[in-house]
Copies of this chain bind each other. A is one copy, B any other.
């Protein structure tokens, strides 16, 4: 039997998890694995960058799960600083360019191909947006560059554009660095991954932490000063002085290559795959991680969700299939958790606007409860909002905003969504109870009880 050639485009979580898993199943005599990564780092935790910038984590080394040398020791031919510039699917080859070596170009043939090209930060075409002092935080290289700006900066004013996950995490990081932080957000509340009523709780808490949070405002540009460096961010009606500007407006799938090769893309621009993570219509091409759309088990649609935990699962599934085994990724329910200082923020399933877009009729219930028995030291309040389908009472989504012990409670709802439970079924869930861990009725169950009543009262 001749050696098959597996080529992987992108050397971060999805790509290298696929490489590692395929190597577990096939020897290098059976399967030659070549992976191309255009950056300086591989298999790293992009999600850890805010904590590195904030000084809570040593970086970048600690954020690297597996080094290039470790991959190579397992017979994975990993080519760093090598960009794939073209996919030639007809002839089964990819064109590459070496970024550090005079731009030498060459072609590499494949029998099987994995696309794990990740995502790119959204960066609106605005005046001054490319000025020194304006930073994205998508890669370890970005993190390093931001840290250099912070260390060189004499001033202590930071503006964060965007109040989504990355925005609020970067706000926390900059607070830890001693900056005065202003966050500018286009929508009416921070965390547009929550319904506005829950986002308002985050808004209030951020202001109480001393983070100036301005919502419903559109950034119009970056003003530059000495040496062309950023000195302020402008909106339609104000100007915010800034010694450093951080862009946290989310990411879009990086699928330029795939699109040029005619592979199928969804509404968000992410690659479309089947349940085995094969690109739709392709037998020997898989895709995973931040460059794909995933099946949303609650709405019945595909969505783009950039999350390391999905990327790792995709890589595992792809590596198994590319290695000749069988695995599937059944889809997501849309779980995410984050924090800004001591405020924990979590959601799973559908927001109100998602449920409406999916054609679902629903009721909502919001409760305030505590993380532990009310009398136990450290009991902290949290708000839990629950969406349930009318008539059937099926759980549609949960959002939680609170302090210590709030965030991971969303996991109960994530499993219940996966199992398509009704909120009434949830009221009987046998969750762990003891005073240091929960009130007698866990906050998620309190919300389920209220949602059950709301379903009943709403009738048909």
Q: Is residue A416 contacting chain B, with contact meaning CB distance below 8 A?
A: yes
- Return the chain B residue nearest A421 by Cβ: B419
How far apart are A157's CB and chain B's nearest CB, in angstroms? 26
Q: Is residue A458 contacting chain B, with contact meaning CB distance below 8 A?
A: no
Q: How large is the interface on A (under 10, 10 to 19, 20 to 34, 35 or more residues)?
A: 35 or more
Contact of A332 among B62, B375, B430 (CB under 8 A): B430
Contact of A51 among B48, B332, B376, B414 (CB under 8 A): B376
Given contact pairs A373-B48, A409-B408, A428-B330, A433 touches B57 in the complex (Cβ within 8 A): no
Complex alpha-carbon distance, A425 and B333, angstroms: 14
Q: Is residue A105 contacting chain B, with contact meaning CB distance below 8 A?
A: no
Does B432 contact A335, Cβ atoms closer than 8 Å?
yes
Does A432 contact B348, Cβ atoms closer than 8 Å?
yes
Residues of B within 8 A of A57 (CB): 375-377, 435
Complex alpha-carbon distance, A414 and B437, angstroms: 15
Using CB atoms and an 8 Å cutoff, list the residues of chain A in contact with chain B.
Answer: 13, 45, 47-48, 51, 56-58, 62-63, 165, 307-310, 312-313, 329-339, 344, 346, 348, 373, 375-377, 405, 407-412, 414-416, 418-419, 421, 425, 427-438, 440-442
- Pick the most buried of A57, A338, A348, A408: most chain B CB atoms within 10 A of its CB: A408
Q: List 19 A-B contacts (CB under 8 A).
A: A47-B433, A47-B434, A48-B435, A51-B375, A51-B435, A57-B435, A165-B434, A307-B433, A309-B441, A337-B433, A344-B437, A408-B437, A409-B411, A411-B411, A411-B432, A415-B416, A416-B419, A418-B419, A418-B421
Does B430 contact A312, Cβ atoms closer than 8 Å?
no
Complex alpha-carbon distance, A165 and B435, angstroms: 12
How far apart are A171's CB and chain B's nearest CB, in angstroms? 15
How far apart are A30's CB and chain B's nearest CB, in angstroms? 21
Residues of B within 8 A of A45 (CB): 373, 375, 435, 440
Residues of B within 8 A of A338 (CB): 434
Does A434 contact B339, Cβ atoms closer than 8 Å?
yes
Does B313 contact A428, Cβ atoms closer than 8 Å?
yes
Residues of B within 8 A of A442 (CB): 309, 411
Complex alpha-carbon distance, A440 and B47, angstroms: 10
Contact of A13 among B331, B334, B409, B440 (CB under 8 A): B440
Contact of A335 among B63, B165, B418, B431 (CB under 8 A): B431
- Return the chain B residue nearest A57 by Cβ: B375
- Return the chain B residue nearest A64 by Cβ: B375
Complex alpha-carbon distance, A39 and B87, angstroms: 79
Does A430 contact B308, Cβ atoms closer than 8 Å?
no
Residues of B within 8 A of A373 (CB): 45, 47-48
Residues of B within 8 A of A51 (CB): 375-376, 435-436
Does A430 contact B412, Cβ atoms closer than 8 Å?
no
